[in-house]
Amino acid sequence: MSTYEASSADEWQDIVSGCFVPLACQSFAPSFRGVMDHTQLGPGLSVSRVTTDGTSVERSVRLAARAETDDLHISLQVHSSGHVAQGGRTVPVRPGSVTVYATDKPYRQNYSRPEQRQMIIQVSRHALRLPAGMIDAACERLLVPSSTGGRLLFEYVARASASGDHAGEGVALDLAETMIHGSFASAPLMPKSRGGMWELIRDHIEHNFHSPSLAIDALASQHHVSRRRLYEIFDVSGASPAEWIRERRLRHAEKLLRNGDRALSIARISELSGFADPTTFARAFRRTYTVNPQDFRAIVRHDV
C-alpha cells in the first residue's frame, strides 16, 4: 500500500491523476487536505481509499478522448454525500451507495461536502468476464442496487489491500462480476471461484450463526453446492463447516459470558449463540475452554 497526502489543488490533481486516470480538479474546500491509500492488487485491479475535506473532479471530453485504458471505477461512498454524473445522468451518493462508471467517457464527481471518504476499485473492463452490453448497462445506470454482493466485494478488497494480499485479484474480480451480474438478475447469483464462494458462505455464517437451523446440509442447499463441494470450499479455512460454525458460536458465547448482562442465564446465552440446547452448549464450551460456562463466567468476573 502506498499513501499520498496533499494540501493543495495542484498536489491533489497530480495524485488522483497518477493513481486513477488524468482528471481536472475544479473546486476545493478551504484549507483542503486529501489522503489517498492506494494498493495494486494485480495487473488489472487496484483499490484506493480516498479521504478529502471536499472537492469536485472532472474527466473532461478532451481527457476521455485520450484514454489509453478501458478501466471502470466501482466506487463505494463511505462517508458524507455527493453526486456522480456520466452520460447525461446524475445520481446522488450517500454512505453505502455503489456506483459504476467508465473512465474512457467523460464524468464528473461532486464531492464538495466536507469529510468525504470513498473506496474506489479501478478494474480493466476486459478483466471482467461479463457481456459488453451488461457492463454498458451498468455504467448507464451508474448506481448499483444495494446488495450483499456489493458489501462482500468492498469488505474483501478492504482486507486484501490492508494485508497486502496481491493474490486477491482473482477473488475480487469474481465478486465484482457477481455484484454487477447479480444486479440485473431476478435471483441471487453465486460467485464462480472457490475463494468467492468462501467469502459468501463465511459471510452467511457470520450473519446467521445464532440460528440453530444453520447446519451443513442447509448451508450447502442455500448456496447451491453439494456437501462435498462445501467441504472443498472450507479447505481454505483449515476447519470443517461444522467446526467453523461451532467456533463462531463459541466466540459469541464467550463474549456474552465476559461482557453480557449478568441477568443472562446460561440457557439464554446458549440460545443467543445458536446452540440447540444448554447441554450441547456446555459440552462444546468445555471441550474448547476446559471449564464449563458457569465457571468461566465466575473466573472472568473475578479477574475483573
CATH of the domain at 65: 2.60.120.10
Residues 17 and 122 in one domain: yes
Domain assignment present for residue 174? The answer is no
Residues 30 and 133 in one domain: yes
Amino acid at 187: A
Boundary residue ending a domain (103, 120, 144): 144
Domain assignment present for residue 177? The answer is no
The conformational region for residue 255 under phi > 0 = left, psi -120 to 50 = alpha, else beta, is: alpha
Domain assignment present for residue 155? The answer is no
Residues 231 and 121 in one domain: no
Domain assignment present for residue 33? The answer is yes
pTM for this structure? 0.87
E strands along 43-182, which residues? 45-52, 55-59, 71-79, 82-86, 89-93, 98-102, 107-111, 116-124, 143-144
Domain assignment present for residue 197? The answer is no
Residues 105 and 227 in one domain: no
φ, ψ (nearest 5 deg) of residue 203: -65, -40
Residues 84 and 215 in one domain: no
Residues 136 and 229 in one domain: no
**Dist. CA 223–CA 192, nearest whole Å:** 12
Domains: count for the chain: 2
φ, ψ (nearest 5 deg) of residue 41: -85, -15
Nearest to 149 by CA among 175, 128, 174: 175
Domain assignment present for residue 27? The answer is yes
pLDDT tens string, the chain, 304 residues long: the values are 889 998 887 888 888 888 888 888 877 777 888 899 998 888 889 999 999 988 888 888 998 888 888 899 999 999 999 999 999 999 999 999 999 999 999 999 999 898 999 999 999 999 999 999 999 999 999 999 888 889 999 999 998 888 766 667 889 999 999 999 999 988 778 999 999 999 999 999 999 999 988 989 999 999 999 999 999 999 988 899 999 999 999 999 999 998 866 778 999 999 999 998 999 999 999 999 999 999 998 888 766 5
Domain assignment present for residue 292? The answer is yes
Boundary residue ending a domain (119, 144, 169): 144
In the block, which residue shows the cell 478522448? 65
Other beta carbons less than 10 A from residue 124's beta carbon: 15
Note down the domain range covering 120.
Answer: 2-144
CATH of the domain at 231: 1.10.10.60
C-alpha cell at 78: 463511505
Q: What is the layout of strands, in order, in the sheet containing 45-52? A: 2-6, 34-42, 45-52, 116-124, 71-79, 98-102, 143-144
Residues 136 and 225 in one domain: no
φ, ψ (nearest 5 deg) of residue 262: -65, -20
Boundary residue ending a domain (95, 119, 144): 144
Question: Going by C-beta distance under 8 Å and a sequence separation of 6 or more, which residues neighbour residue 274?
Answer: 209, 210, 211, 212, 214, 245, 249, 252
Domain assignment present for residue 276? The answer is yes
**Dist. CA 165–CA 220, nearest whole Å:** 28
